[in-house]
Amino acid sequence: MSRQKKTHGRSANRSVGKLARGNVRVAQPNELSEAKASAADTIGVRAFIANSLVLYRNGQIRAALDVVIQGLKIDPENAVLLNHLGVFAARLGDAAAAETAYRRAIAANAGCADNFYNLGNLLKAQNRPVEAESAYRSAVAAKPDFADAYNNLGNLLREQNRPDEAEAAYRAAIDSKPDYADTYSNLGNLLRERKRLDEAEAAYRKAIAKRPDYAEAHSNLGVLLKEQKRPDEAEAAYRRAIALKPGYAEGFSNLGVLLMEHKRHDEAEAAFRRAIALRPGHADAYSNLGNLLQMLERTGEAETAYRNALAANPDSADARWNLSLLLLKQGRFKEGWPEHEARFSPLRSNRKMAPPPTSLDGGTILPQWQGEPLSDRSLLIWSEQGLGDEIQFVRYLNLFQTRGLKHLMLACKPPLKNLFASQNLADRVISTSEWRPERAAQFDFWCYPLSLPLHFSTTLENLPATIPYLRAEPARIKRWATHLPQSAFRVGLVWKGSPTHANDANRSLPSLATLAPLWSVPGIAFVSLQKGAGEDEAGIDLTHQPLTHLGGNIDDFADSAAILSQLDLMICVDTAVAHLAGALGKPCWLLLPKYGTDWRWLEGRTDSPWYPRFMRLFRQSVDGNWDSVVSQLVEALEVTHRYVP
């Protein structure tokens, strides 16, 4: 299922520590160019270089630039003066002049690593990664122990999703400069992203050991400790960062996320607002504040916060993504679907989606479908996000029958392959593990399933809700029939979702025992489809539950469909099983938490337009209180069973 960015299930934003970045290096007075300066002019040129540095360090950038320009009248090809010209022009916002100056400096002295380094920084800032990488590599070729250049090359490679090369660059920086705290912190960020958490922690702690007052490293360590479920240590790290740097907006924003996750709402709001006060254009803090306000059902304020984030940074994919979920949850689909495309943006700080590997002929990339005509074309639908997402949105494949497609392939997650392959959904169904890049030549476009509502202009009034759109295989139905209770009203149960889900602490029940009041309803045979987390509870008769446990023997969703098709009712928390029940046209009672409720269940409804007539929603009214929800289930089950023969 799609998740809101922080991501606190769907209503909080995970902020990450900012990278420590290498500073622009200014050539020193003794780094004189070997350009054509006469002996008589040498002392004068030295004076211009020295004076420009004094003015620069005093913040008089325009005056420093004027001095350099005067010096270049004496020695137009002086590499040091040209380097300074580039640095000062860049500081004044004239990127074109800065680039010209750096390239002239390189032409005058190709052996000066600083010129390449500064050019690399400029090109990186202009989002010209290929040229920036070339400049950084030229810098380290000219100066093999150039730690700053290796550090910034590592940052560039990390942003380009080239983690092995980025790690090599960071380690080269550390080899060249063993006390380089910035690079240790950057390496920690990379290792954390690669789930090498012990190594990441060691890198952060090395950064702090090298520079105890390094606020950013303390904050980055806090991010890691939070992800490791070590909240007290994480909070201490964040607060240490803030104590070291009281104006550190990012530290306050990160602290706010932690406080929000632990439902210390007033403190979290204060932290986010402090971050915004310190940096009024702090898009992440605005977006995080929006998530908190949405969690607290202050939706108007939440929307304002998201839009403030986008006003501060129109390219903030996190803010767009979070705004999309608010709009969709309100049923404002026309506004929400376009913003929802931000979920796969490479600019998202917690991006987990990846397009199909489709590079052709060493460079041509299969285009993503943006709604172009499909007559006589071939289309690949590529897996994304959760299993429940794929089950919910596979319904859209039926709509392609009127688009004149020549060939339609569905690539889904492996547990769904057998289920989807047994339906008349596509010309071919494969699992993502079976995909090979060379197959891309067979297609004109590819598309994510959750982009289909946008391209089919879905609203609440026209969403495709023909139920059922999935069916169980007869052979599997027959095989599972012998394992089911042969009489009574059969009710399926799933009480926990995946523990890796960002909102699992809210959406999953504490244990099977929470449902014990259901056992009091006479004439019910309960069937457990619980698999994975919580599965062992089904085999321990601590609550005297009349329960047949099948979850441990389920291989895939085709098996789950066969079992579900033979039940009278499914009761579950918000997992893929709920979507499967709805897609099969099986009555499903869905338990929803107070916080982090997914956008697709909309606001305040007890039904779902995605699964009309078959889905009934039972919502928590008080955070953490499942007892009242279960009481409603008991009452509803008594009424339902009373009228079912």
Domain extent for 587: 474-642
Distance, in Å, from the CA atom of 295 to the CA atom of 598, rounded to the nearest integer, reads: 11
Average pLDDT over residues 179-197: 95
Nearest to 338 by CA among 242, 454, 425: 454
Residue 499 lies in a domain: yes
Residue 228 lies in a domain: no
pLDDT at 536: 86
In this structure, the answer to whether residues 553 and 635 fall within a common structural domain is yes
pLDDT at 25: 38
In this structure, the answer to whether residues 30 and 88 fall within a common structural domain is yes
End position of a domain, from candidates 109, 142, 161:
109
Checking if the pLDDT of 496 tops 50, the result is yes
442-488 pLDDT, tens per residue? 999 999 999 999 999 999 999 999 999 999 999 999 999 999 998 78
- The chain-wide mean pLDDT, for the chain, equals 89
pLDDT at 534: 84
Checking if the pLDDT of 17 tops 50, the result is no
pLDDT at 333: 98
Q: What percent of the chain has pLDDT over 90?
A: 74
Question: Token pair of 232, please?
Answer: 């007290």
In this structure, the answer to whether residues 615 and 519 fall within a common structural domain is yes
Distance, in Å, from the CA atom of 622 to the CA atom of 289, rounded to the nearest integer, reads: 22
Strand order through the sheet with 569-573: 547-549, 524-528, 489-494, 569-573, 588-592, 615-619
Q: How many CB atoms lie within 10 A of CB 212?
A: 12
Q: How many CB atoms lie within 10 A of CB 542?
A: 10
Average pLDDT over residues 564-581: 97
Total-model pTM: 0.83
Distance, in Å, from the CA atom of 526 to the CA atom of 533, rounded to the nearest integer, reads: 19
pLDDT at 607: 97
Q: What percent of the chain has pLDDT over 70?
A: 90
Nearest to 16 by CA among 238, 169, 263: 238
Distance, in Å, from the CA atom of 327 to the CA atom of 334, rounded to the nearest integer, reads: 9
218-260 pLDDT, tens per residue? 999 999 999 999 999 999 999 999 999 999 999 999 999 999 9
CATH number of the domain that residue 89 is part of:
1.25.40.10
In this structure, the answer to whether residues 423 and 525 fall within a common structural domain is no
In this structure, the answer to whether residues 409 and 482 fall within a common structural domain is no
| Most confident by average pLDDT, 24-38, 227-241, 358-372 | 227-241
Average pLDDT over residues 139-144: 96
In this structure, the answer to whether residues 426 and 568 fall within a common structural domain is no
Res. 359 pLDDT band, cuts 50 70 90 = low
In this structure, the answer to whether residues 79 and 46 fall within a common structural domain is yes
* Three-class DSSP category at 364: strand
Burial annotation 118-132 (CB, 10 A radius, 16+ → b, else e): bbbbbbbeeeeeeeb
500-547 pLDDT, tens per residue? 888 888 999 999 999 999 999 988 999 999 998 888 888 776 556 678
Checking if the pLDDT of 154 tops 90, the result is yes
Distance, in Å, from the CA atom of 526 to the CA atom of 485, rounded to the nearest integer, reads: 8
End position of a domain, from candidates 425, 455, 485:
455
Distance, in Å, from the CA atom of 571 to the CA atom of 524, rounded to the nearest integer, reads: 13
609 and 328 in contact (C-beta within 8 Å)? no
Lowest mean pLDDT segment, chosen from 146-150, 197-201, 402-406: 402-406
Question: Token pair of 30, please?
Answer: 């003794």
For residue 565, what are the contacts with CB-CB under 8 A and spacing of at least 6?
471, 472, 477, 584, 586
List 261's β-bridge partners, or say none: none
Distance, in Å, from the CA atom of 571 to the CA atom of 589, rounded to the nearest integer, reads: 5
Question: Token pair of 490, please?
Answer: 């059969």
419 phi/psi in degrees, rounded to 5: -65, -50
- Count of domains for the chain: 3
Checking if the pLDDT of 644 tops 80, the result is no
pLDDT: which is higher, 34 or 332: 332
Res. 361 pLDDT band, cuts 50 70 90 = low
Distance, in Å, from the CA atom of 232 to the CA atom of 262, rounded to the nearest integer, reads: 11
In this structure, the answer to whether residues 637 and 569 fall within a common structural domain is yes
In this structure, the answer to whether residues 444 and 525 fall within a common structural domain is no
In this structure, the answer to whether residues 441 and 489 fall within a common structural domain is no
Q: How many CB atoms lie within 10 A of CB 73?
A: 9
> Residue 362 to residues 134, 192, 287, 358, 359: CA-CA distances in angstroms?
20, 31, 39, 10, 6
379-432 pLDDT, tens per residue? 999 999 899 999 999 999 999 988 889 999 999 999 999 999 999 999 999 999
CATH number of the domain that residue 416 is part of:
3.40.50
CA 178 to chain centroid: 33
CATH number of the domain that residue 626 is part of:
3.40.50.2000
End position of a domain, from candidates 48, 78, 109:
109
262-278 pLDDT, tens per residue? 999 999 999 999 999 99
Average pLDDT over residues 3-20: 31
